[in-house]
Amino acid sequence: MQAHSLYLHIPFCHHRCSYCDFNTYSGMESLIPDYVRGLCQEIRYIARSSPHKIPIQTIFFGGGTPSILPIGEIERIFSAIEREFELIEGLEISLEANPGRLSVEYLKSLRDFGVNRISLGMQSANPQDLLLLERQHDFQMVVSAVRMLRKAGIDNLNLDLIYGLPYQSLDSWQRTLDSGISLKPDHLSLYALTIESGTPMGSWVKKGLLSEPDADIAADMYEYAGARLATQGYELYEISNWARRDSGGQLMTCEHNLQYWRNLPYLGCGAGAHGFAGGRRTENELNPQKYVQALADSVEASSRDKYKFPQNPALKNSTVITRDREMKETMLMGLRLTKEGVARAPFRDRFGVDLKDEYKAEIEPLIKSGLLVWDHSEGGRLRLTHRGYLLGNQVFMQFV
């Protein structure tokens, strides 16, 4: 059976940040034990609905704030995973954490369960930015979290940073970026702030209390970051993601996210989680209480007969992905990979057609406008140009 990735959604946070529109809740921590029970049930359902033991090559605890889980709950999740799936040796296990509430003991326990990559939400080094974003930490807490991680023996570290904030100057962004670099992360994810309606920040903008981010300044910040990170040994491999090379020369990419960008199968467990497996895109019940209830109400004994892989009682939607749609999605996501792009040979092996012929009408104008280019290495691959990184949406639209 093809290797899958496994995403686990933990929808709890100590406080909701002003810009966040993820499926996460504060003040719902009392639900954690039931939620974890539901998550373990879902893992069992999915695993047992498959005729074969599913090989898992990456696991990603995302959220929300997965590091809010007490270590005993994390242990329960790992027991279910180990019992139900075949874990591929050397698998990457990432966990998102917020600085400020970590301890060396907690991180050591995570490492003992196999967690080998931590993604820290640093966002900014500037106290005013952090205040605006309503983050619950300052930069010093990030520094001590990184120290704790190293002490606990977790070597692979990602930092998330946000740019293009209202009132953020280029100068301030440069200082944030340099503060991040000074912590020697192995990987950096840089996101431009988008103002989402329904968030406190969205309502501040709507009421005219806050100005919209300036897209031109954000573009300058992105350009600056690319140039600065290149001088520090970080290589851009996806529009928003940079990695450095390890001592063996290997680029320390996020293997889990590569699975998404390569449009390969993954299981999504937890409230609102999405998956792509068994030729279907799946979407779980969004509300954590309803999610827990749906799993508690189900009769597990008949799971094998009742549910066809990858369905389970927590599922809200499931869509069969046609070959045509899968090809388009492969283009859409693969072109985010700035070096790898979409290679012709594997595309032909997967779909039986040459992408050059299949998407001639879409590709040629984009090449003419300088957004796409053929890289003739290894049988040919189509990728974005440098200009295309900033105008990626214009490219992706062509394949929607």
Range 102-161, binding ligand SF4 (CB under 6 A)? 121
When the beta carbons of 3 and 20 are compared against ligand SF4, the nearer one is 20
- DSSP for residue 212: P
CA angle 137, 245, 180 (to 5 degrees): 20
CA angle 29, 35, 36 (to 5 degrees): 105
Q: Which stretch binds ligand SF4 (CB under 6 A): 59-67, 140-148, 233-241, 349-357?
A: 59-67
Q: How far apart are CA 49 and CA 70, in angstroms?
A: 29
Task: Collect all residues with Cβ–Cβ distance below 8 Å to 217 and sequence separation of at least 6.
Answer: 164, 168, 170
Range 74-113, binding ligand SF4 (CB under 6 A)? 98
Q: In the numeric block, which tokens belong to residue 314? A: 């927590």
Instruction: Kindly state the number of chain residues that form the binding site for ligand SF4, as judged by CB under 6 A.
Output: 11
When the beta carbons of 98 and 189 are compared against ligand SF4, the nearer one is 98
Q: Which stretch binds ligand SF4 (CB under 6 A): 18-26, 247-255, 265-273, 283-291?
A: 18-26
When the beta carbons of 134 and 362 are compared against ligand SF4, the nearer one is 134
- Tell me the backbone φ, ψ of residue 293, rounded to 5 degrees: -60, -45
Q: Are strands 117-123 and 156-163 parallel, antiparallel or unpaired?
A: parallel
Q: How far apart are CA 257 and CA 111, in angstroms?
A: 20
Q: How many CB atoms lie within 10 A of CB 339?
A: 14
Among 16, 175, 262, 356, binds ligand SF4 (CB under 6 A): 16
Residue 57 · residue 80 · CB < 8 Å: no
Least Å distance, CB 63 to ligand SF4, is 5
When the beta carbons of 185 and 278 are compared against ligand SF4, the nearer one is 185
Residue 273 · residue 61 · CB < 8 Å: no
24 binds ligand SF4 (CB under 6 A): yes
Q: How far apart are CA 344 and CA 338, in angstroms?
A: 15
Among 6, 8, 10, 17, binds ligand SF4 (CB under 6 A): 17
Residue 274 · residue 268 · CB < 8 Å: yes
When the beta carbons of 65 and 189 are compared against ligand SF4, the nearer one is 65
213 binds ligand SF4 (CB under 6 A): no
Q: How far apart are CA 30 and CA 217, in angstroms?
A: 42
Least Å distance, CB 181 to ligand SF4, is 22
204 binds ligand SF4 (CB under 6 A): no
Least Å distance, CB 253 to ligand SF4, is 22
Q: Which stretch binds ligand SF4 (CB under 6 A): 61-69, 106-114, 230-238, 382-390?
A: 61-69
When the beta carbons of 200 and 226 are compared against ligand SF4, the nearer one is 200
Least Å distance, CB 112 to ligand SF4, is 25
Q: How far apart are CA 321 and CA 42, in angstroms?
A: 22
272 binds ligand SF4 (CB under 6 A): no
Q: How far apart are CA 373 and CA 363, in angstroms?
A: 9
Least Å distance, CB 17 to ligand SF4, is 3
Q: Which stretch binds ligand SF4 (CB under 6 A): 63-71, 173-181, 278-286, 392-400?
A: 63-71
Best CA proximity match to 138, nearest among 164, 100, 176, 168 = 100
Among 46, 60, 63, 120, binds ligand SF4 (CB under 6 A): 63
- DSSP for residue 200: H
> Which residues of the chain form contacts with ligand SF4 (CB under 6 A)?
13, 16-17, 20, 22, 24, 63-65, 98, 121
